[in-house]
């Protein structure tokens, strides 16, 4: 293997699969939620965006359903 390679003549190409990997969105989260995931991500040495994605992916894969119980006024 060569010590050095000359990439100056190489033609660049965009990754054709890049757009299929992740979809960029804007989402508004409460500050305590973001801080929670940031702290948890730091403990696990990953980015908080990746952690949120993993959590949501797990919810989607296991088809978790949201259960809400509204308190009624007495």
State the average pLDDT for the chain. 90
Q: What is the pLDDT of residues 13-41, one digit of tens each?
A: 888 887 778 888 999 999 999 999 999 99
Whole-number Cα distances in Å, 25 to 13, 20, 28: 25, 14, 10
Please measure the distance between the N-terminal and C-terminal CA atoms of the chain and give it in whole angstroms. 78
Kindly report the pTM of this predicted structure: 0.65
DSSP codes, 31-68 = HHHHHHHHHHHHHHTS-HHHHHHHHHHHHHHTT-----
pLDDT band at residue 45 under the 50/70/90 scheme: very high
């Amino acid at each position: 293997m060569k010590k050095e390679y000359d990439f100056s003549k190489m033609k660049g190409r965009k990754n054709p699969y890049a757009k299929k990997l992740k979809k960029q969105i804007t989402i508004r989260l409460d500050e305590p939620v973001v801080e929670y995931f940031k702290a948890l991500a730091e403990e696990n040495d990953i980015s908080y965006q990746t952690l949120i994605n993993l959590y949501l992916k797990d919810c989607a894969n296991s088809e978790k359903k949201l259960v809400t119980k509204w308190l009624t006024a007495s």
